[in-house]
Protein backbone atom coordinates (compact mmCIF):
# COMPACT_ATOMS: atom_id res chain seq x y z
CA UNK A 1 0.00 0.00 0.00
CA UNK A 2 1.35 3.45 -0.94
CA UNK A 3 2.15 6.08 1.66
CA UNK A 4 -0.65 8.27 0.30
CA UNK A 5 -3.17 5.44 0.57
CA UNK A 6 -2.03 4.81 4.15
CA UNK A 7 -2.53 8.48 4.99
CA UNK A 8 -6.05 8.36 3.56
CA UNK A 9 -6.81 5.23 5.56
CA UNK A 10 -5.46 6.83 8.73
CA UNK A 11 -7.70 9.84 8.19
CA UNK A 12 -10.72 7.52 7.86
CA UNK A 13 -9.72 5.66 11.03
CA UNK A 14 -9.25 8.90 12.98
CA UNK A 15 -12.72 10.05 11.88
CA UNK A 16 -14.25 6.68 12.78
CA UNK A 17 -12.68 6.91 16.20
CA UNK A 18 -14.33 10.29 16.77
CA UNK A 19 -17.74 9.00 15.68
CA UNK A 20 -17.90 5.53 17.18
CA UNK A 21 -17.04 6.23 20.78
CA UNK A 22 -14.97 4.20 23.20
CA UNK A 23 -16.78 0.86 23.60
CA UNK A 24 -14.29 -1.96 24.14
CA UNK A 25 -15.25 -3.90 20.99
CA UNK A 26 -15.05 -0.73 18.87
CA UNK A 27 -11.67 0.20 20.36
CA UNK A 28 -10.38 -3.30 19.64
CA UNK A 29 -11.53 -3.22 16.03
CA UNK A 30 -9.91 0.15 15.46
CA UNK A 31 -6.72 -1.02 17.18
CA UNK A 32 -6.39 -3.84 14.65
CA UNK A 33 -6.95 -1.43 11.76
CA UNK A 34 -4.35 1.02 13.07
CA UNK A 35 -1.89 -1.86 13.45
CA UNK A 36 -2.53 -2.92 9.86
CA UNK A 37 -1.44 0.51 8.54
CA UNK A 38 1.61 0.65 10.82
CA UNK A 39 0.34 3.21 13.33
CA UNK A 40 1.64 1.35 16.35
CA UNK A 41 1.15 4.07 18.96
CA UNK A 42 -2.61 4.40 18.34
CA UNK A 43 -3.00 0.63 17.99
CA UNK A 44 -1.38 0.11 21.39
CA UNK A 45 -3.42 2.89 23.02
CA UNK A 46 -6.71 1.43 21.78
CA UNK A 47 -5.79 -2.19 22.53
CA UNK A 48 -4.99 -1.22 26.12
CA UNK A 49 -8.24 0.77 26.31
CA UNK A 50 -10.16 -2.29 25.11
CA UNK A 51 -8.53 -4.47 27.77
CA UNK A 52 -9.34 -1.92 30.48
CA UNK A 53 -12.92 -1.57 29.22
CA UNK A 54 -13.67 -5.30 29.12
CA UNK A 55 -11.28 -7.04 31.53
CA UNK A 56 -13.29 -10.28 31.54
CA UNK A 57 -13.80 -10.62 27.78
CA UNK A 58 -11.70 -13.52 26.52
CA UNK A 59 -12.05 -12.64 22.84
CA UNK A 60 -10.88 -9.08 23.38
CA UNK A 61 -8.01 -10.37 25.48
CA UNK A 62 -6.95 -12.65 22.63
CA UNK A 63 -7.25 -9.91 20.00
CA UNK A 64 -5.49 -7.31 22.14
CA UNK A 65 -2.71 -9.77 22.83
CA UNK A 66 -2.08 -10.11 19.09
CA UNK A 67 -1.80 -6.34 18.63
CA UNK A 68 0.34 -5.74 21.71
CA UNK A 69 2.69 -8.69 21.31
CA UNK A 70 3.26 -8.67 17.55
CA UNK A 71 6.31 -6.37 17.75
CA UNK A 72 7.66 -7.50 21.13
CA UNK A 73 10.45 -10.13 20.97
CA UNK A 74 10.12 -13.04 23.40
CA UNK A 75 13.57 -12.38 24.87
CA UNK A 76 12.08 -9.50 26.87
CA UNK A 77 10.55 -12.20 29.09
CA UNK A 78 13.92 -13.90 29.59
CA UNK A 79 16.55 -11.24 30.21
CA UNK A 80 15.20 -10.00 33.54
CA UNK A 81 15.52 -13.54 34.99
CA UNK A 82 19.28 -13.46 34.49
CA UNK A 83 20.26 -12.47 38.02
CA UNK A 84 24.00 -12.40 37.25
CA UNK A 85 23.31 -9.84 34.53
CA UNK A 86 21.04 -7.84 36.82
CA UNK A 87 23.64 -7.77 39.60
CA UNK A 88 26.36 -6.66 37.18
CA UNK A 89 24.27 -3.68 36.08
CA UNK A 90 23.14 -2.85 39.62
CA UNK A 91 26.74 -2.87 40.88
CA UNK A 92 27.99 -0.64 38.08
CA UNK A 93 25.16 1.86 38.59
CA UNK A 94 25.77 1.94 42.35
CA UNK A 95 29.40 2.93 41.74
CA UNK A 96 28.51 6.10 39.79
CA UNK A 97 24.97 7.25 40.58
CA UNK A 98 24.28 9.98 43.15
CA UNK A 99 21.09 11.96 43.86
CA UNK A 100 22.34 14.68 41.46
CA UNK A 101 22.91 12.27 38.57
CA UNK A 102 21.00 12.45 35.31
CA UNK A 103 20.90 9.02 33.68
CA UNK A 104 20.05 8.36 30.05
CA UNK A 105 18.97 4.82 29.26
CA UNK A 106 18.73 3.57 25.67
CA UNK A 107 16.13 0.83 25.34
CA UNK A 108 13.64 0.89 28.21
CA UNK A 109 12.34 -2.67 28.00
CA UNK A 110 10.63 -3.49 31.28
CA UNK A 111 12.11 -0.40 32.93
CA UNK A 112 14.30 -2.51 35.22
CA UNK A 113 17.60 -0.69 34.66
CA UNK A 114 15.91 2.70 34.85
CA UNK A 115 14.35 1.73 38.17
CA UNK A 116 17.71 0.52 39.50
CA UNK A 117 19.15 3.97 38.78
CA UNK A 118 16.13 5.81 40.17
CA UNK A 119 16.26 3.74 43.38
CA UNK A 120 19.77 5.13 43.88
CA UNK A 121 18.41 8.67 43.65
CA UNK A 122 19.00 9.52 40.00
CA UNK A 123 16.68 11.30 37.63
CA UNK A 124 16.30 9.03 34.60
CA UNK A 125 15.27 9.63 31.01
CA UNK A 126 14.75 6.33 29.24
CA UNK A 127 13.82 5.98 25.59
CA UNK A 128 11.97 3.17 23.86
CA UNK A 129 11.05 3.13 20.16
CA UNK A 130 8.41 0.41 20.54
CA UNK A 131 5.11 1.96 21.62
CA UNK A 132 3.75 -1.21 23.24
CA UNK A 133 6.90 -1.67 25.31
CA UNK A 134 7.02 2.01 26.27
CA UNK A 135 3.41 1.90 27.48
CA UNK A 136 4.00 -1.26 29.50
CA UNK A 137 7.17 0.18 31.03
CA UNK A 138 5.28 3.28 32.18
CA UNK A 139 2.80 1.02 33.97
CA UNK A 140 5.61 -0.96 35.60
CA UNK A 141 7.41 2.20 36.70
CA UNK A 142 4.21 3.73 38.09
CA UNK A 143 3.34 0.51 39.94
CA UNK A 144 6.77 0.66 41.62
CA UNK A 145 6.31 4.27 42.73
CA UNK A 146 9.08 5.75 40.57
CA UNK A 147 7.12 7.71 37.96
CA UNK A 148 8.26 10.98 39.52
CA UNK A 149 11.93 10.11 38.87
CA UNK A 150 11.72 8.37 35.47
CA UNK A 151 10.54 9.78 32.14
CA UNK A 152 9.79 7.23 29.41
CA UNK A 153 10.14 8.77 25.96
CA UNK A 154 8.60 6.82 23.09
CA UNK A 155 11.40 7.53 20.60
CA UNK A 156 14.49 5.88 19.20
CA UNK A 157 17.56 7.31 20.90
CA UNK A 158 18.71 8.94 17.66
CA UNK A 159 15.44 10.93 17.59
CA UNK A 160 15.85 12.37 21.11
CA UNK A 161 16.07 16.13 21.40
CA UNK A 162 18.64 17.18 24.01
CA UNK A 163 16.78 20.10 25.56
CA UNK A 164 13.21 18.90 24.99
CA UNK A 165 13.69 15.34 26.22
CA UNK A 166 16.64 15.55 28.66
CA UNK A 167 17.09 19.20 29.59
CA UNK A 168 20.87 18.82 29.66
CA UNK A 169 23.57 16.31 28.79
CA UNK A 170 23.38 13.14 30.88
CA UNK A 171 26.01 12.14 33.44
CA UNK A 172 25.53 8.40 32.88
CA UNK A 173 24.54 6.38 29.82
CA UNK A 174 23.25 2.88 30.49
CA UNK A 175 21.90 0.41 27.96
CA UNK A 176 21.38 -3.26 27.32
CA UNK A 177 21.02 -3.25 23.55
CA UNK A 178 23.51 -6.01 22.89
CA UNK A 179 22.41 -9.16 21.11
CA UNK A 180 23.76 -12.70 21.01
CA UNK A 181 26.33 -11.55 18.46
CA UNK A 182 26.84 -8.22 20.34
CA UNK A 183 26.04 -5.89 17.44
CA UNK A 184 22.73 -6.55 15.70
CA UNK A 185 20.68 -4.25 17.96
CA UNK A 186 22.72 -1.25 16.74
CA UNK A 187 24.66 -0.73 19.95
CA UNK A 188 27.60 0.93 18.15
CA UNK A 189 25.73 3.58 16.11
CA UNK A 190 23.30 4.29 18.97
CA UNK A 191 26.13 4.85 21.46
CA UNK A 192 28.13 6.93 18.98
CA UNK A 193 25.14 9.23 18.46
CA UNK A 194 24.54 9.54 22.22
CA UNK A 195 28.21 10.37 22.85
CA UNK A 196 28.06 13.09 20.23
CA UNK A 197 24.77 14.74 21.25
CA UNK A 198 23.30 13.54 24.53
CA UNK A 199 25.91 12.80 27.22
CA UNK A 200 28.76 14.72 28.80
CA UNK A 201 32.28 14.11 27.49
CA UNK A 202 33.20 12.62 30.87
CA UNK A 203 29.98 10.62 31.26
CA UNK A 204 30.08 7.11 32.65
CA UNK A 205 28.96 4.56 30.05
CA UNK A 206 27.57 1.21 31.25
CA UNK A 207 28.72 -1.14 29.85
CA UNK A 208 31.96 0.59 28.93
CA UNK A 209 33.18 -2.07 26.49
CA UNK A 210 32.04 -5.22 24.78
CA UNK A 211 34.36 -8.07 23.85
CA UNK A 212 33.41 -10.69 21.29
CA UNK A 213 35.12 -13.89 22.44
CA UNK A 214 35.68 -17.17 20.63
CA UNK A 215 37.08 -20.69 21.06
CA UNK A 216 37.34 -23.91 19.15
CA UNK A 217 34.46 -26.20 20.03
CA UNK A 218 32.64 -29.43 19.37
CA UNK A 219 28.86 -29.51 19.10
CA UNK A 220 27.76 -33.10 19.72
CA UNK A 221 24.53 -32.48 17.84
CA UNK A 222 25.90 -30.55 14.86
CA UNK A 223 25.04 -33.30 12.40
CA UNK A 224 21.37 -33.46 13.38
CA UNK A 225 20.55 -30.11 11.76
CA UNK A 226 21.62 -31.15 8.27
CA UNK A 227 20.00 -33.41 5.69
CA UNK A 228 21.28 -36.63 4.14
CA UNK A 229 19.11 -39.59 3.09
CA UNK A 230 15.32 -39.60 3.35
CA UNK A 231 12.91 -42.15 1.85
CA UNK A 232 15.70 -43.40 -0.39
CA UNK A 233 16.66 -39.97 -1.74
CA UNK A 234 19.83 -37.93 -1.22
CA UNK A 235 18.79 -34.49 0.09
CA UNK A 236 22.26 -33.25 1.03
CA UNK A 237 22.39 -30.59 -1.70
CA UNK A 238 19.67 -28.74 0.26
CA UNK A 239 22.19 -28.14 3.06
CA UNK A 240 23.51 -25.19 1.08
CA UNK A 241 20.45 -23.30 2.35
CA UNK A 242 21.22 -23.95 6.04
CA UNK A 243 22.07 -20.95 8.18
CA UNK A 244 25.81 -20.35 8.42
CA UNK A 245 25.62 -20.18 12.23
CA UNK A 246 23.11 -21.11 14.90
CA UNK A 247 22.41 -20.52 18.60
CA UNK A 248 23.30 -22.84 21.45
CA UNK A 249 22.37 -22.08 25.04
CA UNK A 250 25.58 -21.59 26.98
CA UNK A 251 24.64 -24.16 29.64
CA UNK A 252 23.85 -26.87 27.06
CA UNK A 253 26.14 -29.88 27.74
CA UNK A 254 26.21 -30.73 24.01
CA UNK A 255 28.90 -28.04 23.53
CA UNK A 256 32.51 -28.66 24.58
CA UNK A 257 35.28 -26.06 24.26
CA UNK A 258 38.43 -27.33 22.59
CA UNK A 259 40.73 -24.32 23.15
CA UNK A 260 41.31 -21.45 25.51
CA UNK A 261 39.04 -18.44 24.88
CA UNK A 262 40.39 -15.45 22.98
CA UNK A 263 39.09 -11.94 22.30
CA UNK A 264 38.10 -11.60 18.67
CA UNK A 265 37.09 -7.92 18.85
CA UNK A 266 37.04 -5.31 21.63
CA UNK A 267 34.51 -2.52 21.09
CA UNK A 268 34.33 0.71 23.10
CA UNK A 269 30.79 1.92 23.82
CA UNK A 270 31.76 5.42 24.99
CA UNK A 271 32.29 6.90 21.54
CA UNK A 272 36.07 7.05 21.99
CA UNK A 273 36.67 4.83 18.96
CA UNK A 274 35.59 5.76 15.44
CA UNK A 275 32.76 3.64 14.11
CA UNK A 276 34.28 1.43 11.46
CA UNK A 277 34.19 -2.17 10.34
CA UNK A 278 36.86 -4.56 11.60
CA UNK A 279 38.68 -7.67 10.38
CA UNK A 280 41.03 -10.00 12.25
CA UNK A 281 42.59 -13.45 12.34
CA UNK A 282 43.00 -15.63 15.43
CA UNK A 283 45.24 -18.64 15.93
CA UNK A 284 43.47 -20.95 18.35
CA UNK A 285 45.43 -23.83 19.88
CA UNK A 286 43.42 -27.03 20.23
CA UNK A 287 43.37 -28.93 23.50
CA UNK A 288 42.77 -32.10 21.45
CA UNK A 289 39.77 -34.09 20.35
CA UNK A 290 37.10 -33.56 17.69
CA UNK A 291 36.48 -29.96 16.58
CA UNK A 292 33.61 -29.12 14.26
CA UNK A 293 33.35 -25.37 14.63
CA UNK A 294 34.09 -22.20 16.53
CA UNK A 295 31.81 -20.81 19.21
CA UNK A 296 31.31 -17.11 19.85
CA UNK A 297 30.00 -15.38 22.99
CA UNK A 298 30.15 -11.99 24.67
CA UNK A 299 31.84 -10.30 27.60
CA UNK A 300 30.61 -6.93 28.88
CA UNK A 301 33.06 -4.82 30.85
CA UNK A 302 30.59 -2.78 32.92
CA UNK A 303 33.43 -0.57 34.15
CA UNK A 304 36.93 -1.25 35.46
CA UNK A 305 35.50 -3.46 38.24
CA UNK A 306 32.43 -5.22 36.90
CA UNK A 307 32.25 -7.95 34.26
CA UNK A 308 29.45 -9.99 32.75
CA UNK A 309 30.46 -12.92 30.54
CA UNK A 310 28.37 -15.82 29.24
CA UNK A 311 31.20 -18.25 28.51
CA UNK A 312 29.84 -21.67 27.43
CA UNK A 313 30.65 -24.73 29.46
CA UNK A 314 30.53 -23.17 32.91
CA UNK A 315 27.17 -24.74 33.67
CA UNK A 316 25.62 -21.31 34.21
CA UNK A 317 22.58 -20.11 32.28
CA UNK A 318 22.47 -16.77 30.50
CA UNK A 319 19.84 -14.64 28.82
CA UNK A 320 22.17 -14.56 25.81
CA UNK A 321 22.98 -17.62 23.72
CA UNK A 322 26.34 -18.48 22.20
CA UNK A 323 26.67 -18.64 18.42
CA UNK A 324 28.18 -21.70 16.80
CA UNK A 325 29.87 -21.42 13.41
CA UNK A 326 30.29 -24.98 12.04
CA UNK A 327 33.22 -25.93 9.84
CA UNK A 328 32.63 -27.40 6.40
CA UNK A 329 34.07 -30.66 7.72
CA UNK A 330 34.92 -31.79 11.28
CA UNK A 331 38.55 -32.07 12.41
CA UNK A 332 40.19 -34.69 14.61
CA UNK A 333 42.79 -32.58 16.43
CA UNK A 334 45.75 -33.32 18.67
CA UNK A 335 46.78 -31.10 21.61
CA UNK A 336 48.77 -28.17 20.26
CA UNK A 337 47.22 -28.16 16.77
CA UNK A 338 46.74 -24.58 15.58
CA UNK A 339 43.50 -23.64 13.80
CA UNK A 340 43.29 -20.21 12.16
CA UNK A 341 39.96 -18.39 12.48
CA UNK A 342 38.93 -15.35 10.46
CA UNK A 343 36.54 -12.72 11.77
CA UNK A 344 34.83 -9.66 10.38
CA UNK A 345 32.33 -7.23 11.85
CA UNK A 346 30.24 -4.41 10.44
CA UNK A 347 28.34 -1.99 12.64
CA UNK A 348 25.54 -4.55 12.96
CA UNK A 349 26.90 -8.01 12.12
CA UNK A 350 29.68 -10.46 13.01
CA UNK A 351 30.97 -13.25 10.77
CA UNK A 352 33.42 -16.06 11.64
CA UNK A 353 35.01 -18.78 9.54
CA UNK A 354 37.93 -21.20 9.43
CA UNK A 355 40.88 -19.85 7.50
CA UNK A 356 42.53 -22.25 5.02
CA UNK A 357 45.73 -23.94 6.20
Active centre residues (catalytic):
176, 185
Number of H helices, E strands in the chain: 9, 17
Peptide bond into 207 cis (omega under 30): yes
Q: Please compute Rg for the chain using Cα positions.
A: 24
Q: How far is residue 66's CA from residue 44's CA, in Å, rounded to a whole number?
A: 10
Strands 350-354 and 338-345: antiparallel
* Helical spans, DSSP H, in 214-295: none
Query: Could you give the CA distance from residue 69 to residue 303 in angstroms, rounded to a whole number?
Result: 34
In this structure, the number of other CB atoms found within 10 A of the CB of residue 49 comes to 19
C-alpha distances (whole Å) from 55 to each of 29, 145, 156, 281 are: 16, 24, 31, 58
Amino acid sequence: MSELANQDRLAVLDRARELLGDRADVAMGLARQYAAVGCQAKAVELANAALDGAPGDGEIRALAGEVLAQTVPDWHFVITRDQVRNQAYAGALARVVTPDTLVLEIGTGTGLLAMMAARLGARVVTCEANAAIAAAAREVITANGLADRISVVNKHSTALDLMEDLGRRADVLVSEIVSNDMLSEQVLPSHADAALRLIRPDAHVIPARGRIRAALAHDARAGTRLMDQSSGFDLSAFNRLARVHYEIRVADPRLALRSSPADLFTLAFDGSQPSRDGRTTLELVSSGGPVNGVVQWLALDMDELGLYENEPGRGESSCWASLFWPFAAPLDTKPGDVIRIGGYHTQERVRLWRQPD
